[in-house]
Chain A
């Protein structure tokens, strides 16, 4: 290998200017550094990378770089090859296997190395261990926003099981469910646990704007496209580049805009309003609606091809009236939330109030329950929320209405008919409230199954061992 002196001075260890001890400098860095030649073979690694990979740099000169760092870069479309072909550096996140056979998350920065003559000398790859950043990110965001979603019922557990699957792919997701069932929360949870989580999550309500404005909102416009368009506007598709665009109330979208959305989904590019230059985007679509899209397709109000394009993964969120196991859990959660926010000393609801709340059928679902609890916490002057603290409209509606939670209500009725000891305050203390609720659920399921533990476990959506553990925990043996 002939020695050449270059202005950059770095081509391999052999080419370094004798007076510049770059290798010692590289060895002080707390980043892995790997130099490869144009065919991807190792020229040099620094001490940090030696420690990370377990290889001595003298032993691996000439070995293919991938055999040294053992990264998942080849699965990302060969970024090293791309860096070698271009003049620009690029950064990607992936992982490597270290010498302890452990997968380490790494941020790779790959830059081409060029001689002053313009000849490609190879590439420099900087490896930054981002384990701590990932840990911090998971502490800050938890599992992807899912912690905001409350529920232990089998219906909601089924949805929880689907979330990681939806997060792993880039396929479109259609979330259906009545208003107030938490479609937005689930969409955000999918985004936050997906690989797109570092990029924007943008929500557009398709039912909130007239067609012409919505088109400009989604696809942007160029200056002069219409009266008042005095400057270019990027549009939500472009702003969501790399991330997720959440189209809520997709059932309200006009047919012409449905065509344009379909085109973007297929081609990943579009023309802004008034523009003549196509814009390319990489955006994942999550759509939501409270409408029956299948019925809208039959009525000719929604394009069948767009329906199938969106309906790749489907999440149907159950209404609150079908989540009886979650009702008291949500009630407890919202009470605690508003009590803390409003600095109130409320201890709970009395039995009549629980009975009234259980009897209501919640057309507005969880959002409505939350609003009711917020109202009650605001209105209640003392430590116990009573029916008179509930919104008058709810109480009026309850006249003659059958119970929404027949099972739950039975418990409440029993509680209401219980001896005087229990009558004043509903026995749902705010601290540790779920424990009491869980105990009640187990008892109710045991009663319903006639004491049969297998059937009880099925009713609760638990394994037999979990039921056994919980029975023991609550002293129900």
Chain B
């Protein structure tokens, strides 16, 4: 399985079309193969990420909010999209590898209760 995650700092980026950094990794039998690649994009464009996802033969894309046009395009290209994910991207990746990640997931690492003051 080849996975692409749109990222911002250590988290899944809030918006697909405004993402300027992505992570691409390959997994097999629940394990990461090789070194994940982090790619800095020259700008932020939903179309560019869609193009990259198809070019890289991505099978699963994990992101935050995504516009319906981009979502439908990726589905049309047979790319599974798990969207509306909130939380650290590493946690999202591991949840995806164990088939536990669902669209709309708010991962435990997304909350920082200690900061509520």
Contact with B18, one of A12, A72, A100 (Cβ below 8 angstroms):
A72
Residues in chain A near residue B71, CB distance under 8 A: 101
Shortest beta-carbon distance from A459 to chain B in Å = 34
Bound CA span A37–B106, Å: 19
B115 touches A101 (CB 8 A): no
Q: Is A257 an interface residue (CB 8 A)?
A: no
Bound CA span A60–B86, Å: 10
B18 touches A64 (CB 8 A): no
Q: How large is the interface on B (under 10, 10 to 19, 20 to 34, 35 or more residues)?
A: 20 to 34
- Given A37-B116, A41-B116, the answer on whether A60 and B67 have CB atoms closer than 8 Å is no
Residues in chain B near residue A67, CB distance under 8 A: 11, 14, 64, 86, 110
Chain B residue nearest to A15 in the complex (CB): B117
Residues in chain B near residue A474, CB distance under 8 A: none
Contact with B15, one of A1, A43, A70 (Cβ below 8 angstroms):
A70
A66 touches B115 (CB 8 A): no
Q: Is B35 an interface residue (CB 8 A)?
A: no
B117 touches A102 (CB 8 A): no
Contact with B67, one of A41, A62, A103 (Cβ below 8 angstroms):
A103
Q: Is B42 an interface residue (CB 8 A)?
A: no
Shortest beta-carbon distance from B6 to chain A in Å = 12
Q: Is B23 an interface residue (CB 8 A)?
A: no
Residues in chain B near residue A59, CB distance under 8 A: 106
Q: Is A294 an interface residue (CB 8 A)?
A: no
Contact with B111, one of A12, A61, A70, A74 (Cβ below 8 angstroms):
A61
Please report the total number of A residues contacting B with Cβ < 8 Å: 27
A1 touches B68 (CB 8 A): no
Residues in chain B near residue A103, CB distance under 8 A: 67
- Convert B60-72 into 0s and 1s, putting 1 for each residue whose CB lies closer than 8 angstroms to a CB of A: 0000111110010
Contact with A70, one of B14, B68, B115 (Cβ below 8 angstroms):
B14
Bound CA span A59–B84, Å: 14
Q: Is A63 an interface residue (CB 8 A)?
A: yes
- Given A1-B116, A101-B71, the answer on whether A63 and B111 have CB atoms closer than 8 Å is yes
Residues in chain B near residue A60, CB distance under 8 A: 86, 106
Residues in chain B near residue A54, CB distance under 8 A: 84, 104
A62 touches B115 (CB 8 A): yes
Q: Is B34 an interface residue (CB 8 A)?
A: no
- Convert A63-95 into 0s and 1s, putting 1 for each residue whose CB lies closer than 8 angstroms to a CB of B: 110111011101100000000000000000000
Chain B residue nearest to A11 in the complex (CB): B117
Which residues of chain B (11-39) have a CB below 8 Å from chain A?
Answer: 11, 14-15, 18
Bound CA span A62–B107, Å: 12
B113 touches A75 (CB 8 A): no
Residues in chain A near residue B116, CB distance under 8 A: 1, 12, 37, 41, 43, 61-62
Residues in chain B near residue A443, CB distance under 8 A: none
Q: Is A446 an interface residue (CB 8 A)?
A: no
Q: Is A404 an interface residue (CB 8 A)?
A: no
Chain B residue nearest to A96 in the complex (CB): B65
Residues in chain A near residue B86, CB distance under 8 A: 60, 63-64, 67-68
Residues in chain A near residue B15, CB distance under 8 A: 70-72, 97
Chain A residue nearest to B44 in the complex (CB): A75
Q: Is A39 an interface residue (CB 8 A)?
A: yes
Shortest beta-carbon distance from A121 to chain B in Å = 8
B65 touches A101 (CB 8 A): yes
Residues in chain B near residue A66, CB distance under 8 A: 14
Across chains A and B, which 9 residue pairs bring their CB atoms closest together, nearest first?
A: A70-B65, A97-B65, A101-B68, A62-B111, A67-B86, A66-B14, A67-B14, A63-B110, A62-B113
Q: List 18 A-B contacts (CB under 8 A).
A: A1-B116, A39-B115, A41-B112, A54-B104, A61-B111, A61-B113, A62-B110, A62-B111, A62-B115, A67-B64, A70-B15, A70-B65, A72-B18, A97-B15, A97-B67, A99-B84, A101-B83, A103-B67
A: residues with CB less than 8 A from B are: 1, 12, 37, 39, 41, 43, 54, 59-64, 66-68, 70-72, 74-75, 97, 99-103
With A41-B115, A54-B84 known, 15 other A-B pairs at CB within 8 A are A12-B116, A37-B116, A41-B112, A60-B86, A60-B106, A61-B116, A62-B111, A62-B113, A62-B115, A62-B116, A71-B15, A97-B65, A100-B68, A101-B67, A102-B67
